[in-house]
Homo-oligomer: A and B are copies of this chain.
């Protein structure tokens, strides 16, 4: 009820400040500030200060400190959504940064360009010390604004060219080429592909890997076998149906990310089609349950921990640096391909295909 300044219970109880602590401890504010920041302090004063802090329930105010130091100890993190992959990167990265006293401000953009801009503005306004995101087109202006103010930016998972930022990617082309090459090794010649958005750098790279594998074995590229499945479940679901309804359906399919694989698997199940007898399948992105899926899904595994650790390293280097004059790096990490039971050798592979064309 009462609005006393000395109210002990709940209520507007004004926060104790560094000044209050100084008064209570009988020292100057400067001394308290130095104590808080780990500078040497006379023994007796230190005890007084610690008691005062305890007694007053003083809590440091990082907001006020940020205003002076221009350091919020906060890092912007923006991804399309918290799929298994991005969630894993976020968890590991947040763990690493916590040990450096920093935390991630997490926001998703759902692949909506408008949201991307809003989020970037939010980060700029909140003066994040750095920004980690998947590359997104049409945001060059906003990114440049951040860079102009010496905010380090790290792209991962997807690139946007021409921006002076640090980058952490995986060898999308190499891994995709190996994955498709594996199918060819097994005798497959009609291989479908579910691609991500091709406006997207990573989407194009994975498709290129597919094309390279075909080309280097002298297999033709059939346009009808290339389905734009938009990175998502529905795309994978519909795309797989489209492939199966082809006059010459593929005997194997390469899916360029987990979501599309998921949709494709659902469609196969609906039609009671069995891997690998009715179709061989390789997925980009490995998730734990793929190992348990009946015969097991052969998949390209991204090195999540290495990705996060690399980003953390870059962040620490850039933040330790006074102005943004550290050189920008691009790290490209290798993927493993995990062979499981969703792919099988195709016997007498070309018999039907030869008569067809």
Contact = CB atoms under 8 A, between A and B. Distances in A.
Interface in A121-156: 122, 124-127, 145, 147-150
Contact of A103 (B10, B72, B110, B122): B122
Interface string A199-216: 000000000000000000
Given A10-B150, A59-B125, A269-B292, A90 B106 contact: yes
A294 interface: yes
Nearest to A102: B122
Contact of A292 (B64, B107, B288, B293): B293
A145 B59 contact: yes
Interface in A283-342: 287-294, 323-325
A78 to B, nearest CB: 10
Copies in the complex: 2
A26 interface: no
Interface string A1-44: 00000000011110100000000000000000000000000000
Given A67-B64, A94-B108, A105-B105, A323 B10 contact: yes
A295 to B, nearest CB: 9
Nearest to A115: B98
Interface stretch (A80-88, A177-185, A238-246, A249-257): A80-88
A113 to B, nearest CB: 15
A57 interface: yes
B63 A127 contact: yes
Nearest to A149: B15
Interface of A: 10-13, 15, 57, 59-64, 66-67, 72-74, 77, 81-82, 84, 87-88, 90-91, 94-95, 98, 101, 103-108, 110, 115, 118-119, 122, 124-127, 145, 147-150, 262, 265-266, 269, 287-294, 323-325
